[in-house]
Homo-oligomer: A and B are copies of this chain.
Amino acid sequence: MIADQIVPPQRTLMGPGPSEIHPSVLAALAAPTVGHLDPYFLKIMDELQSMLRQVFQTTNPMTMAISGTGSAGMETCVVNLIEPGDRMVACINGVFGGRMAEVAERLGAEVTRIERPFGQVFTPEEIREVVNRVQPKAVGIVHAETSTGAWQPLDEVAQIVHAAGALLIVDCVTSLAGAPVEIDRLGIDAAYSGSQKCLSCPPGLAPVTFGPRALEAMDRRKHRVSSWYLDVGLLRNYWGSNRAYHHTAPINMNYALHQALRLVLQEGLPARFARHLLHHRALKAGLQAMGIQYSGDPQHCLPMLNSVLIPDGIDDMTVRSQLLNDFGIEVGGGLGPMKGKVWRIGLMGETAKKSNVLLILAALEQCLARQSRRPQPGAGIAAATDVYLQS
């Protein structure tokens, strides 16, 4: 059996990632492959690291793209910083906090889980209590919970964790390049992201950064890192100054990320963050005008991941299938306990634009109208348009 040639449908990607991709990024992806030790590629790696540092707002030398997806970035951070028997606190208010705990437990860490309901964030007091009680080596927390849309404030958390002498590991998979991720200002010790969210690159690479305390902790390890592939001690030799062969980097994916980072920096971080907020506000106004409410704490909703409650009497899969098949729009369903209860509407990177906001509101109105619930015609689009006109 030889399959037919690939001719993918053109979707409007409004789910939790992958997000829409600028044509110039796809063009870079398809540029001629060179070797992973080619002087040209080494220059691209240098530039990619320099641009990643700007997006992470850090000067950390050890800032690079792991050759795997966001989850590989998570595993890289945890596996290099946590040894068997180490105490780690995992802050769980969604699927990805739970995943960090599981990754650490598999390594033989003593993991203390603190939990908040899905959609809520942690208070500084909760962090202080557990850090004082456990005296952990590291605290893992999710800046932007892709499963719930919760936006965790980190300023006080970082102070508390560092005052206790612990390392702070931050999941910024969904926030990087869509909201401020201030590695150096907050002293975040390790952070990981994914290429396919607000960076608007195809999935396949995981930007990570490690600060000086994290590198010291790696230098003091008693056990070898259990993963050879993700061992930062080895990766430092490839992404660091001597460029020693470790593995064959995904050349073309790195081209694509390079171009995606160029677009981020050409737009500028403040303008990019403002754009995400603007389209979030318009979407939110439109959804609320249609009677659709956000699922999480309204004080802590991410702009790029809008988790909304599926209205009573509306069937999740019916609507998502209609959106996909009749309108070509992907939105995400709920994960874990949120399955069937929420939709996750992404406004990440290139996806965050007026035409997409108006399209999803128009399409959702039609889908809801076909079921029991008929919103007031045009109300969503009118409310969103008001936001745009006032901006």
Contacts and interface: CB of A to CB of B under 8 A. Distances in A.
A31 interface: yes
A252 interface: yes
A50 to B, nearest CB: 6
Contacts of A106: 224-228
A17 B34 CA distance: 9
Contacts of A29: 29-30, 252
Nearest to A17: B248
A45 to B, nearest CB: 11
Given A2-B266, A11-B32, A44-B6, A203 B70 contact: no
A271 to B, nearest CB: 14
A13 B33 contact: yes
A194 B10 CA distance: 29
Nearest to A11: B34
Interface in A226-257: 226-229, 245-253, 255-256
Interface bin, chain A = 35 or more
Given A32-B10, A106-B226, A248 B335 contact: no
A134 B102 CA distance: 34
A42 interface: no
**Max count, chain B CB within 10 A of own CB: residue among A11, A34, A203:** A203
**Max count, chain B CB within 10 A of own CB: residue among A8, A229, A245:** A229
A306 to B, nearest CB: 16
Contacts of A39: 324
Contact of A102 (B3, B40, B103, B228): B228
A130 interface: no
Contact of A3 (B47, B203, B229, B253): B47
Given A9-B32, A228-B75, A228-B106, A249 B203 contact: yes
A337 interface: no
Interface in A1-46: 1-3, 5-11, 13, 15, 17-18, 21, 24, 26-36, 38-41, 44
B50 A3 contact: yes
Contacts of A3: 44, 47-48, 50-51, 258, 261-262
A34 B6 contact: no
A38 B330 contact: yes
**Max count, chain B CB within 10 A of own CB: residue among A27, A102, A202:** A202
A295 interface: no
A300 B72 CA distance: 37
A103 B69 contact: no
A351 to B, nearest CB: 11
Contact of A203 (B10, B30, B44, B250): B250
A68 interface: yes
Interface in A38-82: 38-41, 44, 47-48, 50-51, 54, 67-72, 75, 79
A196 B67 CA distance: 14
**Which 9 A-B pairs have CB atoms at the shortest separation, nearest pair first?**
A204-B250, A3-B47, A30-B30, A71-B247, A202-B252, A26-B30, A203-B248, A2-B265, A35-B330
20 contacts: A3-B48, A5-B24, A8-B32, A10-B32, A11-B33, A11-B34, A18-B34, A29-B30, A29-B252, A33-B196, A33-B202, A33-B203, A34-B330, A36-B203, A75-B229, A79-B227, A102-B228, A105-B224, A106-B224, A106-B225
